[in-house]
Each structure stands twice: as C-alpha cells, then as structure tokens.
Structure 1
Amino acid sequence: MAIATIVSRVTGFVRTLALVAALGLGSRLLDAYTAANVTPNTIYELVFGGALASVLVPLLVRTADDGDVDDDLFAQRLLSLVVYGLGAVVIITIIAAPFIVDLYVPGFSPDQRHLAVVFTRYFMPQILFYGVSATLAAILNARSRFVSPMWAPVANNLVVIATASVFLLIGGTGKLESLTHVQMLLLSIGTSAGVAAQMIVLAAVSRRTGFPLRLRADPRGIGVRRIVVLAGWTIASVAAAQAVFIVITRIASQAGSGAVSVYSNAYTLFQLPYAVIAVTVITAVLPRMSRAAADRDLARVTADLSRSLRLTSVVLVPIAAALIVLGPQLTTVLFAHGNASPAAAHLTGAVLAAYGLALVPFAGYQIMLRVFYALGDTRTPALLSVGVSAVTIATCLAAAQLALGPNLVIAIAACSAIAYTAGLLVTAQLLRRRIGRVDGHRLLSTHTRILAAAIVAGLAAFLVNRVLGTTVGTSWTGSLITVCTAAAIGAALYALAARVLRITELRALTTALRINNT
C-alpha cells in the first residue's frame, strides 16, 4: 500500500509536469484545459464523492459482514444506482457545458471560452468513470482488497503523460490559436481515457476477486433515503468547499492570461507535503484515537492528538519555510520546460510562497477535525468547514477589490492562510471544550522550538538564495543550483538546531513512519 501510494503520487506529479511542458504554463490553452478538466471532479465530489467517503464504504463493510444479506447483490444494486444516476448527470452537464464554463471562468475571452466548452463536453464522462471507480474500490476494500485500488490511479496518470508526450511529438504548442482539431481531440479523448483506464483496472481486479460485474434493472433495496440522511452533513461540507472553488476560479480567470493554471499548479504543490506527511501521520494515529474515543478515554485522545500535531509540524514547518524562501526558484526548476513561460513559472512560485504560510495551519486544522470524527461527530466538522469556506470566500472577494493582475492570484493564496489559521484557532477551542484539554502547554513549547529551528534554517536558505541569485542567475540551471544548495544547508542547520533545542519529535516521526509502513 505504501509503495502504491508513493508511485501514484510521483506519477501524478509527473503528469502535472508533462501537461505544463506540453500546454505551456501561463498560456490561455492550459487555462482552458485546466478549467474544463477540474469541472468533472468538482461536480462528482458535489453529487457523489462526499456521500461515498462518509457513508457508502462503512455500509458496504457492514453488509459484507452480515450473513443474512447477499453482499454481491447489494453491491451490484449500488453499482447500478451509481451508473444510472451519474450517467444522467453526465448527459445534463454535457448539455449545460456553456453555462458551467460561464459560472466558473467568466473572465475568458470568446475563443478561450469556446475551447473550454468543447473540452468540458469531452471531459464530463469522467464523472461516471470516477463514480464507478470509487464504488468498485469501496467494494474491494470491503472484501479486504486494499492494494489494487491504490495502484489504479497510476494507469490514469500514465495515459495522460503519454497524451501530453504525443501532443509535443506532433508539434503541439502552448498557443491556443495554433491548436488543430486533431490536437484538440488528442487532449480531450486522451485525458478522459486516463480516467477510463483507472476504472477498467478496478473492474478487471473486481472480476478476478469473484465479484460478478452486472447491472441490475432495479437498483432499489439499498436504503437510498438512509444514505442521503447519513451523508447530509458531509454533503454540506463538500458543497461549501465547491463554493470556494467556484469563487476562486472565477476570480483567477479575471486575473490575466494563465492565472487559472498558475493557481491550480501552485495549489497542487501546496497539497503535496500535506498528503505525504500529515496524511501518513493521521493514518497511523486515527485508529488508536478512535479506539480511545470508543473507550471514553479522553486522556488518550488528547495524547494522540498532541503527538499527531507535533510529529506533523516538525516536518511541515521547515518545508513551509522552504516554500516561502525558495518558491519561485523551486517552480522554475519544476515547470520551466517545453512550452511553459518562465514568467508564469516564477509567478507560480510566488503563489506557492504565499501558500507556505497556510501549510501548517491547514495540516493542524485537518488533524483536529479527525478527532471529531473519532468521537463519532460529523456535524461539528461540517459546520467548521462551512465557516472556513465562508472566511475564504469573504477574504478572496475583498482581495479582488484590492489587488490587480498577477498579484490577485498571490492574494488568493494568502486568503487561504488567513482562513485556515482562523479555522485552526476556532477548532482548537471547540475541541478543548469537547475533550477537556488539548495539551496546549506542550504544543506551545514544542512549536516554539520548531519555529526557532526553522527560522535559523530559513534565514540561511534566504542568504544563500540572495548570494547565488546574483552569481548564477535565475535561469533553470541557476535556480536548480540555488534550490539544491539552499535546501542542503537549510536542512543541515535545521537538524542541528533541532538537536540543540532538544526537539525529539524528529526521531519519533521516523519511528512512527517505519511502524506505519511495516
């Protein structure tokens, strides 16, 4: 499972780099492609994804353990309901594609809007592919098959990487005006084929496990009303998150050419350290926290929460410092290839630097939400998510009145930092009332020492950046030298400062990761 997760993350990142190189970071073509390609994910999460995560997987597990229920028949009816329901959604969204594009990206020019509409119509079947893939993965998980669903996204990534590579080989450029009909079809069909490949892999694995892939004409009998009631709070949370996405995308589309793809790629990089570090810690600690909550042992819950926050911060704080100091150089190294614009790569780094301020608050906020889930409370996390979404929207709308052009995209990232910090503080207070204490004194002491060590490392990286920036330049080669040198010196100083300040969480994190992977 660990290997599959790493390979999936790596190939997903290579996919992002391939698309940037092919379509050109900062280009109107990549903006149109990005706006169209995220739409199916957004609609899928809104109409189905939240319910799947909160209700359907546990429901399948309970059904599989119930000897009085035909779990194959139940799973077939569930899959049938997904196919019929999402199939109807696909038809509706294909027809409504122009209205959807206008909702998300009103700032596009007429030719860019037309291409986004065409892409959107080709991409909408992904809603069905995602739904079937997620349902098959849930069925496999309920039957104790965990590894295959984690490998399936790799097929998606490889198909899209191949699509981007072929686009370059046949002379594709980052200019919307020079896009041929063949190139447009290649991008459209190739991208959706990637999601279809992921679905096909899961279907093949499901058949090998003995699950009969068969659609039922009458999918009733799975308790649809009960599912809707149970998923209500999660759906509200997802809807609030999608409202944030709509507002941010609309604002970014009016910030200039390439702003949508610049923001999207910066956000992807921002999420990467959280996914690798924080999610790993959460995965290791959440089962213990849930058992402690079931035993009403709130002291153990507090201890696990404190440990999770400290283990996560000891890695994410220096990474956040690196993003703040080296953001433009890092994105130049990653994205300044092929048809990508160096100026757009630099702007992506500036947005990433602003997101560095949000990394630790975001991770802490997400970890604290998991405590409510461990306590069996889905209402409070949903209300908190709605509140954070409201703050994000309000600050982004205010920023749209104060910032112009590229600075607006940077301001959006800063607004996220404000919203997640507010969410962290409010969540901590509510959690303190719920479980009595959150180990505040120890958390404050540890985070103060971690911050001190990160400041030492960050200042050293900043000085290296300033010195090398004037000697080796800001080209791809110069940026690579700067990033490698500054990162090496900063990491060494952080490890030394952590030792001097007795930050024991570094060793504890290594042990936790080793146990989790085992």
Structure 2
Amino acid sequence: MPQKQAAATAQQVEEKPDNSNARLVRDSGSIAIATLVSRITGFGKTVLLLTVLGPAIASAFTVSSTIPTMISELLLGAVLTAIVVPTLVRAEKEDADGGAAFVRRLVTAAFTVLATGTVLATALAPVLTRHVFLSDDGKVNTALTTALTYLLLPAVLFYGMSALLMAILNTHGRFKPGAWAPVLNNIVVLVVLGLYALTPGEITLNPVRMSEPKLLLLGVGVTLGVVVQVVSLLPTIRREGIDLRPLWGVDARLKQFAGMGAAIILYVFISQAGLTISTRISSHWDIAGPAIYQNAWALLQLPYGVIGVTLLTAIMPRLSRNAAADDTPAVVDDLGAATRLTMIALMPIVTFFTFAGPQIGQAMYGYGRFGGDAARLGEAVSWSAFTLIPYAMVLIHLRVFYAREQAWTPTWIILGITTVKVVLSVAAPTFVSADHVVIALGVANGFGFLSGAIIGGWLLHRSLGDLRMANVGQTITRVVLASLAGGAVLLIVDKVLGLHRLSDTFGGFGSLVRVGITAIVMFGVAFGLMRLLGIPEIVAITVAISRRLGITPPAPDLDLDGTPLEDIHETTLLPKPDLRAAPYYYRFDPYLDAQTMVLPVIRPDAVELTEKTEFPYPVRQASATARSGVPADSPRGTPDSARTPDGGFRTTSEAGAAVPAPIHRSSTYQGEGGTRVSDDAAGGVPAAESATAAGGGLSTDTPPSGNAGGKSGGPVDSEARPGGAGDDGGPEHLPEDEDHAGPETGVYEAISPQMPPMRVESPSKRIQRGPKLTPGASVAGGRYRLLASHGGARGLRFWQALDVKLDREVALTFVDADQQATDNSGHDGPQAILSRTLRLGRINSPGLARVLDVVRGSSGGIVVAEWTPGRSLKEMADTVPSPIGAARAIRALAAAAEMAHRGGGSLSIDHPDRVRISAAGDAVLAFPGTLSDSDAQSDVRGLGAMLYALITARWPIRIGGLSGSVATVGGLPLADFGPDGTPVEPRTIRPEVPFEISAVAVRSLESNKGVRTAATVQHVLEQASVVDQKTDFIPVLRLGQKPPSAPDETLADPELLAAEKERSQRMMWILVGLGILAALVVGVIIWWLLSVFAPGSSNAPLNEQRNIGLTSSAAPPSSPGASQAPASAPATGGVPVPVTGATVFSPEGTPDNVGSIGSVLDNNPATTWRTDAYFQQFPALKKGVGVLTTLGSPSKLTKVIIESPSPGTQVEIRTSPTASPTLDQTQLIGSAVLGDGTTEIPVRADQPARYVLVWITQLANNGGQFQSSIAEIRFESSI
C-alpha cells in the first residue's frame, strides 16, 4: 500500500501541469498585486494600531507581539529560509515518492519543535516580560505586557507553520496562496482594531485584569489573524494532495546541514539579543519608546523594500550564482554594480528622511492618540535614516558569503554589529535626556550596521582581493553632493513658502501635503543634478523615459545581422549619435525596452560551465579544478564536438565556426583604467622588468579550488603545461598534486598563475578559428562591448569599444584575432606582443594612447588603451590639411616614439589604421601593439610615412608586394614612385609644402638619407612649423580695429572642440547654480541664527536675551478626560492660598530658565521668569512648557491670578496628583489668554489638590520670535 501511494504521488508530481513555467507566468501578476496589497494593508495596520492604542498601550503591545515573532524566527524561521527550502526542492526531484515522506517528517519535526517552544515560552511569559524585555521600574507597564504576551504567544506555532506551508506550496509551483495569506492576516487585524475603537471603556493599567473585553479582543484578535493566515493555506494543500500526516524520523539530508544550521541559529540569536537590549532600554526611559523604535525602523524599511530590493532584484541572483561558482572577477563587478545601485537608489531617500523626518512622522502617524508623539517618531527616523545604506551593504555582503558556503562568516559580522549597537545603546541614557533615548538607540543601530558593513567589506577584500571600488567612489561622491543639494533646496522652499503652517493648521493631513511638496522639490533637484553630472543609471532611465514619451528619437538600428564583412582596412561607420553626448544608447538598458546590441548566440550545451575568469572573446570555458582535470566520462563532461584537439573547449556559432576557449588573465595592479597585468612574461617566463616580484602577488581571478559541482576531477595530465604551449619549449610541467584543491585564498605566485590542465598535441592537429568580431559583441567576459571596427594590420584588429563597467570608450587591439600563430609563447608570439605593449603604459605623451590593460588568452589577447576622439589619419588626409598642421601633428607622435626608444622599446608605427588625429590636432598612436620586428629605425620610417600620407593622402611604403593604382593600405592608395624606387616628394604633389617638411617626410623613409632618430624628426618638424610665421613687422591698428588673427594651421577638430566647449559651458552653469544654491543656504543659516540670537525689539540686556529652544518635536496630545472649563464671572471672597515652591515643568527637553523660576513667588512684579526664545510656535517644537507650583496644603481652587508682560500667551491651569507627573496625569481645570498685566483666571476644581501646573500652550509673538514671561502667580480657594 505505501508503495502504491508513493508511486501515485510521484506520478502526480510528474504529470502535474501546474509545475510548468507557464503557470508561474500566469500567477506572477497576481503575486505582484498581492505583495502590493500586503504592504499597503500592513502599513495601514501599523498606523491604525498606534492611532487607536496610544503610546502607552502601543508600547506594551509592541513588546508582547515582538516576543512570539522572535521565538518563531529563532526556532525555525531562519533555518527554514536558508536550509530547508533548498532541501525541499532536492527531495522533490530526487526521491522516488516526490519528496512526500520528507515533507511529512519535516512537518512533524517542525510542529513538534514549535509546539514545545510555544508551551515553554507561555510558561515563562512573566520572566520574559519582567526580566528580559522590560524592567520593573521602567515606563512601560509590565503587567499589561505580560497579559498581552499570554494571549499572543500561541502565534509562535502558527507563524512557523505558516512559513513552512508556504515553502512547501512554493516548491509545488503554488505561489498565490502564500502571497495572499498575509493580506488576510492584515485584514483580520484591521477589523479587530476597528472593533477595539468602537468597544466602550478603556484598558485599566493599575491593576490589569485579563477579563477586560478590550484586552481580550486585542490579544485574541491579533492571534486569530495569524491562525487565519495558516488556515487559508490548507485548502490548497489538500488540492495539491500533499500528505501532512505525522511521520517521525530525521531525514539524512537535514543532518548534512547541521553545521550551517548551527551557524544560522547563532546568527539569529546574536541579532535578537541586540534587539532585546534595545527594547529593554527604550522601555525603561520612555513610555512610547518601544513603539517609536520599532515603527521608525519599519518606516525606514518601507522605501528599502519598495525601491532598494526592486533595483537589486536583477543583480542579486547573478551575484549569488557567481559567488557560488567562485567567479571572483564577476563577483567583484557585481559588488560594484550593487553598491552603485544601492547608493543611487537610497542616498536621495536617506537625505529626504534626514531633512524631513519630523514632517514624515506627523504625516504618517499624527492621528488619534499617537498624535502627540508622531513628530518624535519622525525625529527618530531623521536621525537613523543613514542606517539604510550600511544595512543594504550588509545584506549584499551576506548574500556573497552564504553563496560561497561561508556560513560562519556572517556570524562574525552580526557579532560586530550587535557589539557596537549594544555598547552605544547602553551608553545612550548617560548622554541624552529620557525623551531622546529612543532617538539615540536608532543612531546606535545605524552605527552597528556601519561597523558590519566595514567588517564585511574587509572580509570580502581578504577573500576576493581588490574590490575595485575606486570608480564606485566617484559615483558615490556625485550622488551624495546631488542629494545634499536637493536637501538644501528642500529646507529653503519649506522655509520660504512657510509650509509649516500646513502642519500647524491641518495636523497630519497638512503634513502629508507638506511632505508631498517637499518630496517633489528634493527628488527633482537631486535626480536632475545626477542627470547633469552624468550618472550612468540616471541617464539610462531618462533616456528610456524620453524615448517612451516620444521626446527623443528611438535608439538607432545598428542592422548588425545585415552587416557584411568588408575589407579589414575600412572603418565601419555606425549610424549612431555621438557617444560623447549619449554613450548610453549602446549600453544594456535594464529599465525599459531601449534597443541595444545583441550578443552572439552561445548554445548552452556546447561547453561546460564558465570558469571564473575574464576572456577576450565571447565564449564559455570549461569549469576548472585546481590542479585536477575533469575526466572525459564525467557526468558534466563536454560533448566531443565541443572539445578541441588540444584539450580545450570551443563554442560553435551559427556559422559553424569553432572558437577555442581562452585562459585567464593575470592581474595584480589596479590602475586608473582598470586592472593591469603584473608581469611582462611571455609564455609564463617572467621578464626582466616584471612589475611584481617572483615571491607572489595578489590575484582576484585565480581558478577555483574545485569544480562547480564540488566533485574532484581526474588526475592531472603529465603533459599539461600552462599557457597552452605546444610540444616545443614552454614552461615546466605541472606536478601531479591533489593537495592543491584546497579552499580559495586569492593569493598565488605571480609567475605561476594557475589554470586548468590541458592535453597537449602537435600543432598540426589544432583546428582553431578566430571569433567573429562584430559590432555589438561582448568581449573580455562582458567587460567591453564592440562599437566599430577601425581596420587592422599584420594580424592585429583595431576596434572602438565601450567599457561597460567604467562607462567610457576604449580602443581595443586584438592580437592574433584569427588565431593563426603557431607558437603562442615564443618571441614572435601573441604573448610576447602583449608583454612588449604593456611596457608602453609607462609612457605619458600626447602622441600615444595610454595603455590601460592587457587581457591574455590561450591564443592571442587584447590591448586596452584610451580612446582617442577625433578622426582617422585617412579621414584627415582626405580634407587636404595644412602642411604646417600636419607637421605639428606628427611632431607629437615623434615625441612619443623618442620616449619609447629611450626606454628600450618601440611603437610599431607601421600602418595608417593605427594613427588617429586627436581633437587637439595631434597624431596619436591610437592602437598600440608592438610587434617583434619593430625597432627605432622602423618607427622613424613610420613617422615619415605618416607625415607623407597626411599631406598627400597616399601611402609611401609598399606592403606585401602591393602595387598598382588600385592597391590601397588603410584606405590610402599607394604613392607614385620614381625610377629609383623612392616615392615622389610631397612638394611635387602640393607645391605649398615647405621644403623642410617635404624633405623629412621622404628622407625618413630610407635609413641612409640622414634622418635616423625620432628626435631628429621632432626637431625638424618643430623648426618647420614656425618657419612661415611673419614676425618682422607689427601691423598698425586703427582705433577700434581688431588685429588680424593668424590662420589656424593645426588639425584640431572644430566639431569636437565645439562639443568640448559646450560641455565646459554646461559645467560652468552647473557650478554657477551650485554657487547660487550655496549662497542661499548660507543666507538662510545666517538669517536663522540672527532670528535666534539677535535681541530684536527687546530692550533687555544681552545677558538676559532669549536662549535657543531646540527641543523635541511633538504635536499637542488629546488629553483623555480633559475638558475646557467654562468661563464664568470672577469669584469673590476667595481666600489666598500660600505657595511653598515652584519648578519648571518641561517633559520634553531641558527646562527653560530654571535659575529665575523663583521670581514668580517673590511678590515683585519687576522680576520675571522667561521661557526660552523659540523660532516656531508651540506645538511645532514641543507640546509646551509650564510652572509646577506646590501649595502649602491641598486646596480646592476657585481663582488663579497671573501677572505677565506677555499678552497673547495661552495658559492652562491643571492639577497634579504628584510632584513629578506626566502631562497625561494632570487634569484641566481652567484656561485663559493672558493680557498685559494682571489676568484673573476662574477655575473649577472637583477636589482639593496640592500641586498646580500653569501650562503654557502658546507663546507670545514678539518681533517674529516666540517667548513669554510670568512675573507673579497667586491662588485663591473657597475655604
């Protein structure tokens, strides 16, 4: 019977159509809607909870609801996410019963653990609340928290089972039930809170009775929501035929993850320990502390969940795959991209939250019973908003470590986070007041995550090597500056327009409008500046949006499929805009449907997994094992058709061309243009001028220590040798050592780069064909995207490309692109060419494009150099340039050649396709590549040829026996030759050419004509370029006449110069705008300081001027039970009541002017007590301030007499049961607006009181500042 059931289950799993991708696509829309609805209802639930409950009950509820979620996460949640879910998928695929037995065991074990944990936690509820999360002498009511905890702890079982059932349904392709279940939970809680608000009465806090209807409704109702969440999944479980009957036992799969499970549990425990300590501290000092702390963090999570996670969704799975495959360069690139996206997405939001935090708090939570603390919650958001950045970085780091199966590394990170957080949290009450402790806890949490990001970055640096964050730093700097500029404009607009009146007049709804206006201003300025500063991601978004709206034309059609293979010497012109103006048209646009270039198709089954290195051609490479080969009969083995005779691998394009897989590049130096190779070795032998010592160096792209599947390969071929060398020569053989398959360290000797073993056979058996280089192809592991061909020469191919990572154009010289070289590592081989060219990177000259990088392959490689904007030599020669301008242009190239010759190298100036004329009019060797036959004399000959070609538009050197009028070199026809075999002098073709220039062009072509060095060419051209300048006479100028300008003899490109001038003017306007903005900001700051510290219209001495009143922001609360005392006729016959003492009552912040409070009782109207000077009226900055008096004995007051020189001050008279009350504990017995002089306030007290509070709710307006004074306070009673 069990076998039949298992077979039926397996058949059902196999035949079930819902497992198809089609169903996932159909359900994706519903899942997205459910996620959005869940976030909206969840946020609405939080707002309604605070609005209905108020700060005291909300804090108790927050603590009690946190306990079951923490216990559930500790028991099952984290382990379920990290371990159990992948195991479910494996069990479903591998087990004969489709994983049915594994699911039963898992559900049984999970239910048992959760139920046991629930029972134990419920029994220990008083201990948890009184001794772990709260303190007996704290502000939060422990009795109420304990009562709610009893009612909410059963949710532990349902939280865990809900997560487990969702995971099971997801593995069966059922995603909608799990997406909509939280929505049902939120709806139930919203209904419960609505019923709570409608239920009459209040929860009594002293004593707390479990039988109170509102208490039972709140606790049982919230737990019911979690139960509904679980029950809603059961119908789908039944329809899917998933068997949940108990089955005892532990599956073998779970045992192998015991170590990782322990690490994850320890991680969660450390994290929750930090949260527990923060909750205990906040509840001890602030009655609203837990509610503010938790909801401020939840408010920060809202933009991160909507924006940050959305933008990182595309890159995080790729980062995980690359990390799991030990593809170190790809991981480094993904880290850089993730960091850029994080900063671009979150930095403006962090800035907005920092500047507009109090307004956001009022807009979101400034309603009902929590209105008085909403601004304080917003202030907590403002101070802790910076946490989002390190928090996002920590999550990225953790993803890498878990993917690399370094499960214990995140534990060290969370340990550092929690340690810093706890230390700062414990110290917070020492340095801040009680009302600001919760704000300091948010700051401590931020510094904790900041330390975690630093620790994670350091550990990643140790594991991956150089993280290459230099270019990311430039982007971050621009984003930060743009965000700060937007924040400054926000403050100016808010102050100038007086938007605070919206909050003062309309409360939360007015603050919502205020936040919307300031958000539009701030984000508009910030992202506008990012667009002007050229942030690539922002430009891509704006370009895509403008195309969609029809503002700009669509991306050009490159017509790549129909591009024929032309002569290699002809430049391929692409119908595209100027890349300097909009280089992003040719980049992949992840945000919209912008047209981009298509990568060559690579069949997924043609080769094995790609190794973790970068390659010069768009091919995949076999997975490498550290010093161990992969046997041919491996289950992951490559088909015979994909293997090359030399033991490598190839891909097969649609045209049938097989491309051998190249090897890795060695890289130890991080320069401005990217990575550089560290050695000038040819064929693995270090050159004399190696950049690093043989002792070793740091590499970020060494092959992994094991294959991707985690299986050891076969033995090492004794014939294998690095570099793909042939039978002849080459380095020594690799030893057959299996001990090298250890963990990846990222460190190896620079002279012995590791590489996968390869079989070596005779060169005659090698069948190699070069890759088809076409516009749009991606090379060097996707780092560079080809844009246009610029010809080639002698086995070299010259291409203009886009560096996708650094977002700039580069010049690529493909060495042995056709892979015709038979000896890759010899003196004439491609590797030697790359090594010689690499030395040119030391030369800094206008006549040489700076060498940025060298990418080595198994046969050939790529030289990466800076791109030279301008024109090709042929294009410039066709314009018939000035001979003087041509001489000046070649002079720069001659200077570069002389510098190379002095260093013992050469440039290989041998073909017109190599040379371009820059925007400044200099001839530049734009495509470096030093061949073996190049020397100083050949460069001198090349200089003469370039000068000749630039003047005459003809090539003076016969190449490869070319002759005749139709023969061309680089698009230039051959020159006419005289009887002696020398080309016709340029003066014969163009008589205006100066003799010196014509002579050096011809004599440089022959070694016996007197011009033998590049220095000679440079010197002669310098002299010739000034020979025709007239300096003998100074022309007479009439008044107002401009001197005649000398003719421009340079070859500078006017279009490029105009574009450069336009960019300079645009940058100038940006700087002018930033300067004006800075001036406005400084002006606002000066005005604010003057308004605060200047005496205004007061005649008081400077030492009695007003103090700044910066205290917590809060809106006025609605005092339960307080009612406005009706005005009545003044009572007569009252008995004066003696007053024994007075103190300043300021529950929010430092008391005002404590030293002069005795003036209100000295019977001297000339002495007064003054409040601080405030630049905003109450309750914008605080609820109010008052004087708490102590009567000689309890009295039933009838009248309060106040003498004050501050007319317009509004006061409330309140009685207090204690000498240190909260405002909510006082009772309103009267109110009035003070006049100038004596004001009698009738009051109506129900019972005698000893403590009376004169509470100021509105200050007098004095010259734009707000301050009130009280001279005397007297009381009268009826007895």
Scaled to the shorter chain, the TM-score interval is over 0.9
Query: Given the alignment, which residue of 207, 214, 219 partners 2:245?
Result: 214
Q: Please list, as runs of the form range in 1=range in 2, the aligned pairs for 1:318-397 lying within 5 A after superposition.
A: 318-340=348-370, 342-397=371-426
Judging by fraction of residues, say which structure has more helix: 1
Does residue 197 of structure 1 match 2:228? yes
SS in structure 1 at match of 2:313: helix
1:341-400 deviation per Cα after TM superposition (whole angstroms, max 9, x unaligned)? x33101100111111121112112221221222222222112111111111111111213
CA distance in 2, matches of 1:242, 1:506: 38
Matching of residues 418-457 of structure 1 within 5 Å: 418-457=447-486
Offset, 1:425? 1.9
Instruction: Report Cα offsets for 1:212-271 as digits up to 9, x if no partner.
Output: 23233x244456544443311111110111110110000001122111111111111011
- 2:158 aligned partner: 129
Supply the distance in 1 between the matched residues of 2:115 and 2:321 (Cα, whole angstroms): 39
1:415-436 deviation per Cα after TM superposition (whole angstroms, max 9, x unaligned):
1121112221221122122122
Structure 1 SS opposite 2:306: helix
Contact 2:135 2:284 in 1 (8 A): yes
TM-score (norm 1): 0.93
Distance (whole Å) between structure 2 residues aligned to residue 429 and residue 109 of structure 1:
40
Cα deviation, 1:300-341, whole Å, max 9, x if unaligned, reads 11121211121122121111011111111111111112222x
What residue is the counterpart of 1:315 in the other structure? Answer: 345
Closer/same/farther in 2, CA of residues 404 and 52 from structure 1, 3 Å limit: same
State the 1:66 CA deviation.
0.6
Shift, 1:470, TM fit? 4.9
User: Is 1:479–2:511 an aligned residue pair?
Assistant: yes
Unaligned runs of 5+ in 1: none
2:493 is matched with 464
Distance 1:29 1:291, change over 3 A: closer
Residue 146 (structure 1) aligns with: 175
User: Aligned partner of 2:53: which letter?
Assistant: L
The match for 2:522 is: 490
Residue matched to 2:534: 502
Secondary structure at the residue paired with 2:473? helix
Question: How many residues were matched structurally?
Answer: 511
2:303 is the alignment partner of 1:270: no
Deviation at 1:19, TM superposition (A): 0.7
Candidates 284, 309, 314, aligned match of 1:279 = 309
Shift of residue 83, structure 1, vs aligned partner: 1.2
Residue identity in the other structure for 2:111: V
1:48 equivalenced with 2:76 (yes/no): yes
Q: Using the alignment, how far apart are the partners of 2:104 and 2:61 within structure 1? A: 35
Bigger radius of gyration? 2
Q: Does 1:258 align with 2:288?
A: yes
Task: Give how far 1:514 is off.
Answer: 6.3
The equivalent position to 1:305 in structure 2, one of 296, 312, 335, is: 335
1-structure distance, mates of 2:456, 2:324: 21
Q: How does 1:93-112 map to 2 (within 5 A)?
A: 93-102=121-130, 103-106=132-135, 112=141
Distance 2:456 2:473 in 1: 16
Alpha-carbon distance change, 89 to 51 in structure 1, aligned in 2, over 3 angstroms? same
Aligned CA distance change for structure 1 residues 390 and 69 (closer, same or farther; 3 Å): farther
Q: Residue deviations 1:140-191, cap 9 Å, x none?
A: 1222333332221111111111111111122466875799811111101110
Offset at 1:70?
5.0
Note if contact 1:107-1:253 (Cα within 8 Å) is conserved in structure 2.
no
- 1:48-73 deviations in whole A, cap 9, x for unaligned? 22211221111111111113355112
How far apart are 1:8 and its partner, in Å?
1.6
Which stretch shifts more, 68-77 or 132-141?
68-77
Instruction: Provide the residue aligned with 2:277 in structure 1.
Output: 247
Corresponding residue of 2:145: 116
Return 5+ residue gaps in structure 2 as ranges: 1-30, 545-588, 594-1279
Cα separation, partners in 2 of 1:109 and 1:394, compared to 1, 3 Å:
closer
Corresponding position of 2:40: 10
Query: Paired residue for 1:75?
Result: 103
Return the alpha-carbon distance in structure 2 between the equivalents of residues 307 and 499 of structure 1. 18
Amino acid at match of 2:229: Q
Q: Could you tell me how far apart the structure 2 residues matched to 1:406 and 1:121 are? A: 29
C-alpha distance in 1 between matches for 2:301 and 2:169: 27
Task: Find the residue that maps to 2:178 and give its secondary structure.
Answer: helix
Tell me the alpha carbon deviations over residues 114-156 of structure 1, each in whole angstroms, 9 at most, x when there is no partner: 1111110111111100111111111112223333322211111
CA distance in 2, matches of 1:277, 1:174: 40
Once residues 67 and 257 of structure 1 are traced to their aligned partners in structure 2, the CA distance between those partners, rounded to angstroms, is 55
* 2:63 alignment partner in structure 1: 35
Q: 1:376 to 1:130 in 2, by over 3 A?
A: same
Counterpart contact for 2:126–2:146, Cα < 8 Å:
yes
Q: Kindly provide the CA deviation profile for residues 455-503 of structure 1, in whole angstroms up to 9, marking residues without a partner as x.
A: 1111111223334255434432442232121111111111211111111
Which shows bigger deviation, 159-168 or 172-181? 172-181
Does the 8 Å contact 2:60/2:140 carry over to 1? Answer: no
> Is the contact made by 1:21 and 1:339 (CA closer than 8 Å) also made in structure 2?
yes
Are 1:56 and 1:227, in contact at CA under 8 Å, matched by a contact in 2?
no
Which one-letter code corresponds to 1:262 in the other structure? I
Q: Contact (CA 8 Å) 1:355, 1:417: kept in 2 or not?
A: yes
Amino acid at match of 1:291: R
Contact 2:140 2:283 in 1 (8 A): no
Of 319, 322, 336 in structure 2, the residue corresponding to residue 292 of structure 1 is 322
Percent sequence identity over aligned pairs: 31
What whole-Å deviation, never above 9, does each CA across 1:249-295 have from its counterpart, x for those lacking one? 00001122111111111111011122222323343222212332344
Q: Is the 8 A contact 2:181 2:230 kept in 1?
A: yes
How far did residue 443 of structure 1 move? 1.2
Q: What secondary structure does 1:231 align onto?
A: helix
Bigger drift between 41-50 and 288-297 goes to 288-297
**Would you tell me which structure has more strand in proportion to its own residues?**
2
Amino acid at match of 2:418: S
- Cα distance change of structure 1 residues 44 and 295 upon mapping to structure 2, 3 Å threshold: closer
Does 1 or 2 have the higher relative contact order (CA < 8 Å, sep 6+)? 1
Partner secondary structure for residue 145 of structure 1: coil
Deviations 1:63-98 (A, max 9, x none): 111133551121011111111221111111111110
Instruction: Decide whether aligned partners of structure 1 residues 375 and 222 sit closer, same or farther in structure 2, where only a CA change above 3 A counts.
Output: closer
Partner amino acid for 1:3?
I
- How far apart, CA to CA, are the structure 1 residues paired with 2:356 and 2:202? 29
What corresponds to 2:1038 in structure 1? none
Maintained 8 Å contact 2:189/2:222: yes
Shift of the 300–147 alpha-carbon distance from structure 1 to 2, 3 Å rule, reads farther
Shift of 1:206: 1.7
Q: How far, CA to CA, are the matches of 2:414 and 2:253 in structure 1?
A: 27
Alignment equivalent of 1:65, drawn from 93, 97, 105? 93
Give 3-state SS (helix, strand or coil) of 1:320's partner.
Answer: helix
Residues of 1 paired with 2:459 and 2:218: CA distance? 47
Structure 1 position 401, deviation (Å): 2.4
Q: CA deviation at 1:16?
A: 0.4
